[in-house]
Amino acid sequence: MKIGIIGGTGGMGKGFALRWCKKHDILIGSRDAQRASDAAKEYSDVAREAFGNIGGAISGADNLSVAKQSDVLVLAIPYENIDSVCPELLANVRDSCIVISPIVPMVKTDTGFEFIPLKEGKQFAHQMVQKYMKNKQKLVSAFHVISEKKLVDPKFVLDYDIFVCGDEKESVDVVNSLILEIEGLRPIFLGPGALAYQAEIATPLLLNAMIKNKLKNPGIKIL
């Protein structure tokens, strides 16, 4: 598959690129095409050093070009950028494109990390992204509770569960298969997109537990 990553020059984008390039072509997206191209070259060098030959290629382009080409599109963008980024991009994806939202609506306050929809009465991320989808059934929420610092180390074996929410079984199955391709990860299906807030709210919970208890880049595992 061609997996596009919007916001691909950030830490999450790098981590996904390194983990999935062994089997898939990765398209790094950025508002600056040159920045995306430079990042793609860096990721390619890191991947070859870690794995030797890789089955896919890593390339970079502007966000719109990446959106148009992708079979799967990951939105590695901040919550506050959804309304500015998604209308144009999601209007131009293929009808068959599966969109993954790892977006978390949270803010850091004096109390700790808080969930914006609860604090400010706003929509959760899945709802906001879904408004702009050509095929609303193709939106899947996943990857909210994963350590970026551990994800970007291609040789680090993760040991986490990943909550998944989506309305179409076929799309959920594709995302589940991508989760399983990352050694040590296990998909846990929570239900339809209407329940995606339950996956999103797990991130501020995890971060607060990490800070208050001096944990180092924790994840969630259901036993």
Answer yes or no: is pLDDT of 100 > 90: yes
Q: What confidence tier does 160 reach under pLDDT thresholds 50, 70, 90?
A: very high
Q: Determine the pLDDT at residue 53.
A: 86
- 31 token code pair: 């508002």
Asked whether the CA dihedral 30, 5, 64, 84 is positive or negative, the reply is negative
Answer yes or no: is pLDDT of 130 > 90: yes
Do residues 139 and 167 touch, judged by C-beta distance below 8 A?
yes
Q: Determine the pLDDT at residue 202.
A: 96
Q: Where are the alpha helices (DSSP H) in the chain?
A: 11-20, 33-51, 63-69, 82-91, 116-120, 125-130, 148-151, 169-181, 196-200, 202-212
Q: Is 79 helix (H, G, I), strand (E, B) or coil?
A: helix
Report the mean per-residue pLDDT for the chain. 96
State how far the Cα of 138 lies from the Cα of 169, in Å rounded to an integer.
9
Do residues 53 and 22 touch, judged by C-beta distance below 8 A?
no
- 103 token code pair: 């977006």
Do residues 102 and 141 touch, judged by C-beta distance below 8 A?
yes
Summarize the confidence of residues 154-176 as an average pLDDT: 95
Residues 6+ apart with CB under 8 A from 64: 88, 89, 92
The torsion angles phi and psi of 42, rounded to 5 degrees, stand at: -60, -45
Q: Where are the domains of the chain?
A: 2-213
Give residue-wise pLDDT tens across range 65-81: 999 999 999 999 999 99
Q: What confidence tier does 121 reach under pLDDT thresholds 50, 70, 90?
A: very high
Q: Determine the pLDDT at residue 217.
A: 85
Answer yes or no: is pLDDT of 147 > 90: no
From residue 119, alpha-carbon distances to 106, 123, 195 in Å are 9, 11, 18
Query: Residues, the chain, total?
Result: 223
Summarize the confidence of residues 159-188 as an average pLDDT: 97
Summarize the confidence of residues 118-143 as an average pLDDT: 97
More confident residue, 196 or 149: 196
- 42 token code pair: 């860096």
CATH tag for 2-213 (out of 3.30.70.260, 3.40.50.300, 3.40.50.720, 2.60.40.10): 3.40.50.720
Q: Determine the pLDDT at residue 155.
A: 85
Q: Record the pTM.
A: 0.96
The torsion angles phi and psi of 191, rounded to 5 degrees, stand at: 140, -160
Give residue-wise pLDDT tens across range 185-206: 999 999 999 999 999 999 999 9
Q: Is 107 helix (H, G, I), strand (E, B) or coil?
A: strand
Give residue-wise pLDDT tens across range 37-58: 999 999 999 999 999 889 999 9
